[in-house]
Amino acid sequence: MRKIYLMTMLLAALNLYAERNIIKLNDNWSFRFSHQVNKGTARRVDLPHTWNTQDALSGKVDYKRGIGNYEKRIFIKPEYQGKRLFLRFEGVNTVASIFVNRKYSGEHRGGYGAFVIEITDKVDYGKENSVLVRVNNAEQLDIMPLVGDFNMYGGIYRDVNLIVTENVCISPLDYASSGVKLIQDSVSNEYAKVRNVIQLSNGRNADSKLDLSVTVKEGDKTVKSFSSLVVVPAGKNITHEIPMEFNKPHLWNGMEDPFMYRVEVSIKENGKVLDTVSQNMGLRYYNVDPEKGFFLNGKHLQLKGVCRHQDRAEIGNALRKEHHDEDLAIMLDMGVNAVRLAHYPQDEYFYDLMDRHGLIVWAEIPFVGPGGYEDKGFVDSEMFKENGKQQLIEMIRQHYNHPSICFWGLFNELKEYGDNPIEYIKELNEIAHKEDSTRPTTSASNQGGAINHITDVIAWNRYDGWYGGNPGTLGLWLDDLKKKNPNIKVGISEYGAGASIYHQQEELKQPNPSGWWHPENWQTYYHIENWKIISSRPFVWGSFVWNMFDFGAAHRTEGDRPGINDKGLVTFDRKVRKDAFYFYKANWNKSEPVLHIAGKRCDRRTSNVQTIMVFTNQPEAELFVNGKSYGKVKADEYCIVKWENVILDKGNNDIEVKTVRGKLKLSDDFICKIQ
């Protein structure tokens, strides 16, 4: 009797908490290209996966852009009958056509947003089922982006999950959003008002009367709870709102205190939990002042930002969690507090990391112009424009609840010549405000004109001292722009210079950006001078180094090898931090002691009279050459220490710098050979 009683209690408990089940489907797919029609040509792959790791990253301009077939066998349990089944794809580039048991079941067009299709009525229960995904990354004119200075890697390059829910659920079908939207209508240090907008879906043939509950937690402690009775008509999807109010809320305060509440939304029927969705909620308020820049929760915050592409050596864009973790760790090491995730929505996990560590994020759709290359980023066709609107709505709805996201980006480097995108950008701007009235829109421009006066704030891609000119022209340009447009809210969305760690030179000479010689010392000089200009102008609301990491661009023929854009502060494989990285670390990261000799990789020189430059966030440093002190020198306001006219001997010279501050002792050294 006791066993029967325990079994009854267990079944009752299972029935009480019959919530959604999420099953990862990353392993054991078979892959072949569409032209490989002979049997036996498929090979096993695991996700994330791209087929362009070899050709695109070797600088092959015409890398494979076509159709790849991914197929997986999935056993659908018989007990799933009567439930609802959804496939969620986190990212497939660029067109995904889905076939269940070789029957067409849906399509998604766009390579950077998640999408969900329901397969409830398409599977055979108690049997193995085939899921075939035909992926096409070919060039076409009806999908963003049309062009870009980056690789359009083909494949299922993010996770795939099977979601199993009850017949009535919090809907995953609203542009693949969580189904829970936390709208921060009003936030201050004293009070916050939030609307919890919930998407409910009834797959039954009868109406469902539900008990909808919202629980707000701070750790394990429940701080707020709300409930409502809701009727969802048969076969319908509805939206229901529950308002929430907070007195003296604990704010998400960037890197200083990235606190988040946990919001749990549940639906019950007759005491049985049908579905639960949990979302983090970071309450914050912010604004951009045209004279003083960015303010978070009423306090000025200088945005010290970088841009990031989602690829790396050997694996292309098929990143795993450990790769995202490593990228974030390198950013934090340098002292980054803001990131422009260019030029497309990136992995949900990376936005989660930004939330948890308090970075400010600029998220954007892939509406990308050609930069200095041919073709255009805009075609005035209805299919293209509808696709762009779809991708914008997807981005906002999928990532709405991330407190780190403070800006929605609408375009990058578009041109007005030919098909003029201005009216379309205005449409996108209206859609963004309709979807989210709480966040400003922005864009990255590289020209003048009306295109710069559409979004709420604007930023420019500037390469003064790399693509012509010199760093000083950036300051002149900024001051002139501000004088002519005093109310404009201006940022720097990109600035950078190429550098190879293998290209070293004694003299400071500006290279040809499209040539094969990209000396590291010019990149270092470039960033020092550009940062001096940017940091001394408080009206610049944010600046973003292009780029945090070297990245793949198959058409590039420059630097130390083809196929790589080497403007990163860190090498493509993440193994080497360039000298400019340490300049920023000394200036931006005040929590970790820094002492770094610039130019250490230039260890063979001809002149015996040298300047030794050091980056340090300590008050001073002392130089030793072959054991002899050249004295202590104080760091300037940009954390730079220099010893000029240092006489070196013929042959090898031991160069060492030291700094001592109480118990803290730092040193750095290298051997410099005078030939």
Dump pLDDT digits (tens) for 121-159. Answer: 999 999 999 999 999 999 999 999 999 999 999 999 999
Distances (CA, A) of 17 to 210, 284, 629: 15, 34, 72
CA–CA gap between residue 439 and residue 305 (Å, rounded)? 19
Residue 12 clears pLDDT 50, i.e. is over it: no
Residue 571 CB coordination number (10 Å): 19
Residue 436 in tokens: 């989210």
413 is catalytic: yes
Let me know: does 539 contact 526? Beta carbons within 8 Å: no
Mean per-residue pLDDT, 413-421: 94
Residue 278 CB coordination number (10 Å): 13
Mean per-residue pLDDT, 34-55: 95
pLDDT digit string (tens) for 638-657? 999 999 999 999 999 999 99
pLDDT digit string (tens) for 449-467? 999 999 999 999 999 999 9
- Give the H/E segment covering residue 647: strand 640-647
- Give the H/E segment covering residue 427: helix 422-435
Q: Is the dihedral of CA 252, 255, 257, 263 positive or negative?
A: positive
Residue with tokens 């067009």: 109
Residue 115 clears pLDDT 70, i.e. is over it: yes
pLDDT band at 15 (very low <50, low <70, confident <90, very high): very low
One-letter amino acid at 115 equals: F
Looking at residue 10, its pLDDT comes to 39
Phi, psi of 3, deg, nearest 5: -65, -40
Q: Is the dihedral of CA 598, 602, 604, 605 positive or negative?
A: negative
Residue with tokens 């070297």: 550
Looking at residue 19, its pLDDT comes to 74
Q: In whole numbers, what is the pLDDT of the chain averaged over residues?
A: 95
Looking at residue 3, its pLDDT comes to 45
pLDDT digit string (tens) for 584-606? 999 999 999 999 999 999 999 99
Residue 16 clears pLDDT 60, i.e. is over it: no
Closest CA to 344 of 415, 395, 384, 390: 395
Q: Choosing from 348, 394, 413, 558, which is the catalytic residue?
A: 413
pLDDT band at 371 (very low <50, low <70, confident <90, very high): confident
pTM flag (> 0.75): yes
User: Pairing between strand 127-136 and 95-100?
Assistant: antiparallel
Instruction: Kindly state the percentage of the chain with pLDDT values over 70.
Output: 97
Looking at residue 18, its pLDDT comes to 54
Q: Which residues contact 616 (CB under 8 A, 6 or more apart)?
A: 586, 594, 595, 596, 635, 639, 641, 659, 666
DSSP assignment, residue 667? E
Residue 110 clears pLDDT 90, i.e. is over it: yes
pLDDT digit string (tens) for 64-102? 999 999 999 999 999 999 999 999 999 999 999 999 999
Residue 505 in tokens: 């030179």
pLDDT digit string (tens) for 328-350? 999 999 999 999 999 999 999 99
Which domains are seen in the chain, by residue range? 17-170 (2.60.120.260), 180-281 (2.60.40.10), 286-497+540-550 (3.20.20.80), 604-674 (2.60.40.10)
Instruction: Kindly state the percentage of the chain with pLDDT values over 90.
Output: 95
